[in-house]
Structure 1
């Protein structure tokens, strides 16, 4: 109750702040002229409760704030690049990693092999998603070189080591990492209110070049309209997660704002239940669902997709058949369905009724309604079932004809995570009866294959099979939309990953 009340008070306070700031304080530019410092002001929809990057997803936000860095980093093309690490080489299930000589913490202490290993082990103990790290074998070769031995060949280890939750911090001097963090990023904490505002300032000892900004302030604004008002009133300089309506406002004032929107990594998709739907019905559904129309309706917040990954990725080269209403109807009629007086197909006296299960987040409620309307146009009756927790209801039970879901598909520049979660035998989201012996062998090969070209080839064949068998439908990737004042540059606006924002090159020209 206390947390909920704090959230309400925060919203009220920030709304007043957004309405009254120009009157009482003047524009942000004027304030900076008075202080002589470049302080970037931003909004964030997530309330950070702890600075410990190894806990849950907190590392996403310490990365956003420019406080922490990992051994590797994802670039704008979704590829892994060295960050604190200089290089990495695999020999079977043993990885040898060399650290950059200059890599150091904000207190001047050098990043060493011993400290990195202790961080990885700590993250393995703290974060269940990286639990395997506590069971790996580590060996220090020298102060800047070490090995990681996994229990089996693990070709995507570097992708994991780019995860912001595996940030490297000075464990000996961070004390309580929840509030006192010594890390390697271009910024350090100036002040931190759990669940509220966080202020950062330039790391004067940053190891990787000049830091352009003097600092930044991130205000907790969970409501998108509050961020819009604050941006219009000059209280903030940039933010991500711009709504379609706000984007239209910013587009109409190009002299003040820059708007960048790119397909990101969070996917809307649906599962077709092969245990309850005939081949012809599933095919007819996929020939009817018009993802381009859904993209248009959702007004710039998503980009329609043929597969689970962006088509620019080497493992995103799949295709699906175009919308063809007449072909969909012909399939149903060939299977013995005929239109009744109400305009719905029926067979043996039973109307063809499809239960669409969804949960009301990530625009899935809107998607469910749009799909229901599209199916009606060809004579399929759709009923909607909304659940609060899909993982405890229709995903767990298989009680659906079509199951809507949304998740990050491309977690770290590699296809295996999503494929293993949705298409592998026994996977949690393979709950619609998809089973293909050849595909499972390809998934098993993908798990241990190191060659990136072969990984892409395998992923494309696996996903294409799921599409061709009408086991899944991939709808759209959410766009990452960032707005900046025209003088703001370099906030990772062209990177599809949500966990990057502030960096050494961020500036206010």
Structure 2
């Protein structure tokens, strides 16, 4: 079966290429002719210097801009008020505690929290950071509208105006890192923050080097430093790892993982479901309930997981089942039941093995973009739908948000996004299921669900939030408005002796930390 699918998918890709489909802007860039770096191992320097790779070329150090804070967090340089734990829960980091009274939040800071230059982290500086992020990052623009008040050097308040129960989740976002704005004169190239490491060498678009922050406020830092080499090509990282030029990296490909697994005496591999979701939207404006249900009964996530060979983990809903808001269930694939639904709608099989009605073959348009393995997913779904007698035509777009997501011109729309952005379900639900939401573009409208979404927006109790989220997602699944396929795996390889690189944390923006160590 896998061999036949491989041949089939290769043929599909060839056809798409001839049709002129271009790679999505979401696809990774490549750098031709990159050579593996010269080894600068800890043995040669007499220090514990970790060497790793990063596929993103950081151009500026300002953590508040765009998603730059993800990378300064990865480097172990910046920290936020709160921290996302391995099981999608939050705990205080620079903050000591937080209490809400309606719209008013009172936040207390750790008394010993200091920047790498020794300056204390104060309420005034935190407020200035939050306002700065709100001014330059559109995703956090709402911070500019809040009312802040300094109570003392280590206590301040935030009045959100309306009840906003997920504020602490937002304050765990790496883009809301707290930096010394007075000492970081030009954050394009200079950054004074609170993390266990400080930047010693920064090459925009290239190598980043960090060393231990000797003034780190939150315990002993075990490493002397680390080097992050810019390696956009997966094969380059594989070669560097095999040559002993780097010690670890994440975003390991399935082919590389197979090689590492063959050498357990040298490498340790960790694979966990992360937060980036592959899913599809079923267009209720163009497909009746029986047809949508037939599609969901046909798409086999187990087979897709197997074919994608360790890079994804099948999922019932959009969130990890380990999360308190990930307790939903979808129907098991049943092609026979799918065919029965189509025949109930008056379709009959023709000589080519496809269902037709009134002389017209049942044909569905599957729209996708060529990144995050969505091209492979589209081809696999096309083959699975064919087995149920449904003809699927694949349409590749370079910009999904500007084409089929915006216009609704699709029967099945494939998409990939981070579903669990900050340890809470509201973000994904509000983006995909709320009326008028950008990714509720398939005509889903359920008054009971909308009422529950409004309740979720205001509910402060975590257990009740999880229950509401599960009810909302389950209702959409029962209506066959969406299909949730798989969560991308976070695959990390470490040379034996390397430990503590956040390999069990599903969030991509954590890596280097005070506990990171190597033999």
- How does the TM-score come out when normalised to structure 1? 0.95
2:72 maps to which residue? 62
How much does 1:385 deviate? 0.2
Q: 1:115 aligns with which of 125, 132, 156?
A: 125
Aligned mates of 2:357, 2:290 — CA distance in 1: 13
1:489 maps to which residue? 499
Listed as ranges, the matches of 1:278-427 within 5 Å are: 278-427=288-437
Helix, strand or coil: the match of 1:213?
coil
Structure 2: runs of 5 or more not aligned: 1-28
Aligned mates of 2:71, 2:492 — CA distance in 1: 16
1:160 maps to which residue? 170
Q: 1:124 aligns with which of 131, 134, 141?
A: 134
How much does 1:382 deviate? 0.4
1:4 maps to which residue? none
Aligned mates of 2:45, 2:167 — CA distance in 1: 45
How much does 1:142 deviate? 0.7
- Aligned residues of 1:11 and 1:221 also touching (Cα < 8 A): no
Aligned mates of 1:132, 1:342 — CA distance in 2: 56
Listed as ranges, the matches of 1:427-446 within 5 Å are: 427-446=437-456
1:468 maps to which residue? 478
How much does 1:11 deviate? 4.7
**Per-residue deviation, residues 45-78 of structure 1 (Å, max 9, x unmatched):** 0000000000000000000000000000000011
Aligned mates of 2:321, 2:196 — CA distance in 1: 33
Aligned mates of 1:474, 1:325 — CA distance in 2: 18
Aligned mates of 1:258, 1:183 — CA distance in 2: 32
Helix, strand or coil: the match of 1:489?
coil
User: In the alignment, is residue 12 of structure 1 matched against residue 33 of structure 2?
Assistant: yes
Question: How many equivalent residue pairs?
Answer: 491
Q: 1:341 to 1:13 in 2, by over 3 A?
A: closer
**Per-residue deviation, residues 261-299 of structure 1 (Å, max 9, x unmatched):** 000000000000000001111010000000010000000
1:3 maps to which residue? none
**Per-residue deviation, residues 144-165 of structure 1 (Å, max 9, x unmatched):** 0000000210000000000000
Aligned mates of 1:108, 1:35 — CA distance in 2: 27
Aligned mates of 1:244, 1:35 — CA distance in 2: 33
User: In the alignment, is residue 170 of structure 1 matched against residue 180 of structure 2?
Assistant: yes
Helix, strand or coil: the match of 1:376?
helix
How much does 1:243 deviate? 0.2
- Aligned residues of 1:212 and 1:506 also touching (Cα < 8 A): yes
Listed as ranges, the matches of 1:63-82 within 5 Å are: 63-82=73-92
How much does 1:469 deviate? 0.2
1:133 maps to which residue? 143
- How does the TM-score come out when normalised to structure 2? 0.94
Helix, strand or coil: the match of 1:253?
coil
Helix, strand or coil: the match of 2:356?
strand
How much does 1:34 deviate? 3.0
Aligned mates of 1:269, 1:192 — CA distance in 2: 37
How much does 1:462 deviate? 0.3
Helix, strand or coil: the match of 2:100?
strand
Aligned mates of 2:512, 2:32 — CA distance in 1: 24
User: In the alignment, is residue 91 of structure 1 matched against residue 112 of structure 2?
Assistant: no
Aligned mates of 2:147, 2:436 — CA distance in 1: 29
Aligned mates of 1:43, 1:113 — CA distance in 2: 36
Helix, strand or coil: the match of 2:35?
helix
Aligned mates of 1:111, 1:14 — CA distance in 2: 42
User: In the alignment, is residue 498 of structure 1 matched against residue 508 of structure 2?
Assistant: yes
Helix, strand or coil: the match of 1:433?
coil
